[in-house]
Amino acid sequence: MDNNELTIIAATELETQEKYAHRLHICAGTGCISTDSENVIKRMQELVKERGLQDTVMIKKVGCMGLCAAGPIVKVEPEGILYKTVAPEDVEDILDALGGHPVERLLIDTQLPFFARQKKNTLENSGEVNPEQIDDYIAHNGYKALVKAVTSMTREEVVEEIKKSGLRGRGGAGFPTGIKWSIVAQEKGDKKYVLCNADEGDPGAFMDRSVLESDPHVILEGMAIAAYAVGANEGIVYVRAEYPLAVKRLRMAIRQAERKGLLGENICGTGFNFTLDMRLGAGAFVCGEETALISSAEGDRGVPRTRPPFPAVKGLFGKPTLINNVETFANVPSIILKGGEWFSSIGTEKSKGTKVFALTGKIANTGLIEVPMGITLREIVYEIGGGIPGGHKFKAIQTGGPSGGCIPEECLDTAVDYESLKELGSMMGSGGMIVIDDTSNMIDMAKYFVEFSMEESCGKCPPCRIGMRRIYDMLSKFSKGEAEEKDIAELEQMCHMVISASLCGLGKSAPNPVLSTLRYFRHEYEEKIKKPGIVGDTTEKTPAGTPVHVAG
């Protein structure tokens, strides 16, 4: 496979698609499938056949288009018309409207800030390509970056381009990707591995799942480029088994790429070999940590290992291993095609490029968004997100999943980048954003995330295993109104102990939701401290169920 062959495939596929007067892109991601998009597709196929429109109307299954709250979504091309909450009974009206006036009741305004304020890079192909057809990916510049890398760039040049881009790991910590690649590349040995961390486990997060479902080939291409750059010849995508659609489409994509000669032996006739396989995780949150992921991928129990040595030096089966997450690999092809300087021109001084977020919670526009680094939280919540529904007020936004923190309204003008979020006591994490309104209690929020981390702890180290249970029990005292003055100080002390003494990133960040709520919503904890002479909850009920205040 070379550039000429890619060009021919792309031209043929584009010519085939452009023969149709109308192309109907129908979301077939998990979110839309849950709201009946499969029956929409089925009804569309039936009606197109009944009306004899097979030569003029193309039905194209695509991935997530972002605005999950409005699914199932149908996009009409080439007009660019978007329809929301489409049901099977709406299909006839949509077909009737082709080439004429759109169906007003289903119409989405594509000029809304939700669309206009985004900048697509990672999600560029989501909603555009059929994730189950490699030729469609190739028609959208797919695999050009891989061919360019292995045929016209040295391994060192590829690493330098990634360094120049300023790309940082999108899995949470934000370690510079180019530096990690260079460390693995410098390691000696006859065997190296590339691992894709697709073990997305944060509550409310679905960024990686959507990319895997919508554009699986971009992950394979990014991993192949990385393997070439660091001298690896084998790769593994570690994905949780709870993502059946992502697993299905990844397997399909691997087989298609192998048949095209873009994976496997002697890629592009250069002598570069790269084979790719999958490992299914059982849903353990701790396996998102690099060394726990490696243990699980090797077939052992997924528990963290002490570091050093780091995976870059001694990873999978004791060999040098490059680990990046889904979104990190998804950025690689465009960097190689367009150049590191292009990528570094987006974002802030220390946080380059764009970032994908799963925007959920008490927000009008829930869904998947991609924005340039440096955008403010206020812009995300009130412009892209459309504000708080139901007449309620904004209270906080939780970023970074169970490892992150809750950020209050007075900090909404903060720029979204690695350093700024860390200063607020939160973190970027993999990209979950949960909006909280004035109906929520922040102690309960902290308790929810602590309970999650406590249950997901592997139990290997006592600070996390015992410490998180102790923190949970102390939060329960506050919830019940049984806490004492000294409990706030003890709670903070316990949080810092867990952070400083835990073995891996789970324990070192699990107390963050507690510390951030103590920092910004301390009054809610103080209100729960029992007064002298009053024990526990001060309200009991009469047999008739009427609340009665009880004196101490």
Q: Given this model, what pLDDT does residue 549 score?
A: 36
**Which token pair is 51?**
């009306």
In CATH terms, the fold of domain 141-344 is: Rossmann fold (3.40.50)
Region of 126 (left: φ > 0; alpha: ψ -120 to 50; beta: rest) is beta
d(CA 267, CA 260): 10
Q: Which residues contact 121 (CB under 8 A, 6 or more apart)?
A: 331, 334, 346, 353, 354, 370
The pLDDT value given to residue 530: 81
Could you give the angle at which helices 462-479 and 485-501 cross, rounded to 10 degrees? Answer: 160
Options 1.20.1440.230, 1.10.10.60, 3.30.1280.10, 3.20.20.70; which CATH number does 442-526 get? 1.20.1440.230
Please, are residues 374 and 415 in contact by the beta-carbon 8 Å criterion?
Answer: yes
| Phi and psi torsions of 435, nearest 5° | -90, 135
105 to each of 26, 31, 86, 108, 315, how far by Cα in Å? 18, 21, 10, 9, 55
Cα(206)–Cα(56) distance, rounded to whole angstroms? 35
Structure tokens at 538: 């001060």
* Contact in structure between 170 and 355 (CB atoms under 8 Å): yes
Cα separation, 219 vs 131, whole angstroms: 12
Residues 6+ apart with CB under 8 A from 296: 238, 279, 281, 282, 284, 287, 302
Domain boundaries, the chain: 3-110, 141-344, 354-437, 442-526
Query: What is the full per-residue pLDDT of the chain (552 aa) written as tens digits?
Result: 788 899 999 999 999 999 999 999 999 999 999 999 999 999 999 999 999 999 999 999 999 999 999 999 999 999 999 999 999 999 999 999 999 999 999 999 999 999 999 999 999 999 999 999 999 999 999 999 999 999 999 999 999 999 999 999 998 778 999 999 999 999 998 899 999 999 988 888 899 999 999 999 999 999 999 999 999 999 999 999 999 999 999 999 999 999 999 999 999 999 999 999 999 998 888 998 999 999 999 999 999 998 899 999 999 999 999 999 999 999 999 999 999 999 999 999 999 999 999 999 999 999 999 999 999 999 999 999 999 999 999 999 999 988 899 999 999 999 999 999 999 999 998 889 999 999 999 999 999 999 999 999 999 999 999 999 999 999 999 999 999 999 999 999 999 999 999 999 899 999 999 999 999 999 999 999 987 665 544 444 433 343 333 333
Tell me what pLDDT residue 552 has: 31
**Cβ contact 178:165 at 8 Å:** yes
CATH of 3-110, one of 3.40.30.10, 3.90.79.10, 3.30.70.1430, 3.30.2350.10: 3.40.30.10
CATH number for the region 354-437 comes to 3.10.20.600
Q: Whose structure tokens read 């309960």?
A: 444
Per-residue model confidence (pLDDT) at position 545:
40
**What pLDDT shows up at residue 122?**
95
Q: CB-based contacts of 232: which residues, under 8 Å, 6+ apart? A: 184, 192, 193, 194, 226, 274, 322
Whole-number pLDDT of residue 189: 86
Can you give the pLDDT at residue 538?
A: 44
**What's the confidence (pLDDT) of residue 533?**
60
What's the rounded Cα separation, in Å, for the pair 137 and 149? 18
